[in-house]
Amino acid sequence: MKKIIGLLLSVVMLTDILAGCAGTPADNSGTSTPENSPAVTYTSSTEESTYPRTYTDSRGKEIVFETQPTKVISTDWSITESLFIMDYPPVASSLVEMMSGWESMKSYFEAYHVEELGGGMSTVNLEKMIELQPDLILTTAYTKEDVIEQYEKIAPVAVLSREAFVEREMGIREIGKIIGIEQTVNEILGKEKEQLVQYKEQLSEQLGDKTVMFLSESGKVISFYYGNVALHYDTEKGLGLHAPKSLPTEVKTENITLEGLSEYNPDVIVISSSEEYLKELEKNSV
């Protein structure tokens, strides 16, 4: 375990840069979501969306929006992150407790009130959803079909493809299309690309050819991300980090044990986790 903890300590700079990549909430009056007013009032200065709008999701299902959605629920952390980046916070999300502890997300959860829906995509609090009366629920193709059917009894549901879940820019653009702020998304991504050039240079200087593996802990279950299109490995759209040679190129997430990490033997490990779990890792003898 000393090896993993040592590696974690060696990537403080890396996690700071990744946090910076996510940015901070804009100071837009009327956009933040106070506790007593969950609906978002969003006005873009650079575009006017025409309504009604029809959006076709990854299932091929058409969703007609008479007006711009103002009470959006997210069932996945990646969707929530994307909405934050757009300054279009959801009224509720799964995994709020976990995400609010991430360094890259703290400022958003301090700025916006987001209701907690509980566990992951398939274990959210349906009663809380009904109570909030959303006008749109965003989820991904990883969500089970019977769960999506439950969501559709509450509000219109837009299902993002698995590719949009993994390929960050694709996901952000798709969400922007759903809520009618495509031009705003173009501007946001343009600024991000400028920042990425600087971050890639800094990381290249610090890490060189070292391989990096990204882990996520939830409920003491560790999962890892792989596939060369992932933001951290993509040389064109991402940070251009080096993946362990044995890491599969297929885009996917999987659970893994600490012992299983030896198969990949990364030089650097970055893990998103609660402080409590990290303390447990320090005591682990692996």
> What pLDDT was estimated at residue 98?
84
Domain ranges of the chain: 2-16+206-283, 24-190
pLDDT digits (tens, 9 = 90+) for 164-197: 887 888 999 999 999 999 999 999 999 888 888 8
For every one of its 286 residues, what pLDDT tens digit does the chain have, with 9 covering 90 and above? Answer: 434 433 444 444 454 445 445 455 655 433 334 343 344 444 444 455 689 999 999 999 999 999 999 999 999 988 999 999 999 999 999 999 888 887 788 899 999 999 999 876 567 899 999 999 999 999 999 899 999 999 999 999 999 998 888 788 899 999 999 999 999 999 999 988 888 888 888 888 888 998 888 777 766 666 665 555 466 787 777 788 888 887 777 656 677 777 777 788 888 887 766 667 667 666 665 5
What are the angstrom distances between the C-alpha of 188 and each of 26, 82, 282?
A: 12, 11, 39
Do the domains at 2-16+206-283 and 24-190 have one common CATH topology? yes
Tell me how far apart the alpha carbons of residues 82 and 78 are, in angstroms, rounded to a whole number. 6
Long-range contacts of 197-205 (CB under 8 A, 24+ apart): 199/17, 199/20, 199/21, 199/239, 200/239, 200/240, 202/13, 202/17, 203/14, 203/17, 203/239, 203/240, 203/241, 204/240
- CATH number of the structural domain 2-16+206-283: 3.40.50.1980
Of 3.90.1310.10, 3.40.50.1980, 3.40.50.2300, 3.10.100.10, which CATH number belongs to 24-190? Answer: 3.40.50.1980
Tell me how far apart the alpha carbons of residues 180 and 44 are, in angstroms, rounded to a whole number. 10
> What pLDDT was estimated at residue 221?
67
Query: 87 by DSSP, 3-state: which?
Result: coil
Length reported for the chain: 286
